[in-house]
Amino acid sequence: MLRVMLVDDEPPALRRLSTMLEGIEGIEIVDAVDCAEAAVAVLEREQVDLLFLDVQMPDKDGFELLASLPRRPLVVFVTAFSGYAAQAFEVEAVDYLLKPVRPARLEVALRRARTALRGGAEEPAYDLNDRICLRTPERTVVAPLGDMITLEADRDFSRVTVLDNAPLLICKSLGTYDATLPNPPFFRISRSLIVNLSRLRSVELSPVRGARIVLDGIADPISIGRTALKRLRTAIPHDLTVNPER
Read off the pLDDT of residues 41-77 as tens digits, 9 standing for 90 and up.
999 999 999 999 999 998 889 999 999 998 889 999 9
Q: Are residues 20 and 46 in the same domain?
A: yes
* Percentage, residues of the chain above pLDDT 70: 93
Most confident listed range (24-28, 113-117, 132-136)? 24-28
Give 82-99 pLDDT, tens digit per residue. 888 888 888 889 899 999
Check residues 233 and 149 and name the one with the higher pLDDT.
149
Do 168 and 238 belong to one domain? yes
Residues 6+ apart with CB under 8 A from 151: 158, 159, 160, 161, 174, 177, 181, 186, 193, 194
Q: What is the pLDDT of residue 246?
A: 47
Label residue 242 by pLDDT band (50, 70, 90).
Answer: low
For position 108, which CATH number holds?
3.40.50.2300
Q: How many domains does the chain divide into? A: 2
Same domain flag for 93 and 169: no
Say if 126 falls within a structural domain.
no
**Predicted pLDDT of residue 49:** 94
pTM of the predicted protein model: 0.64
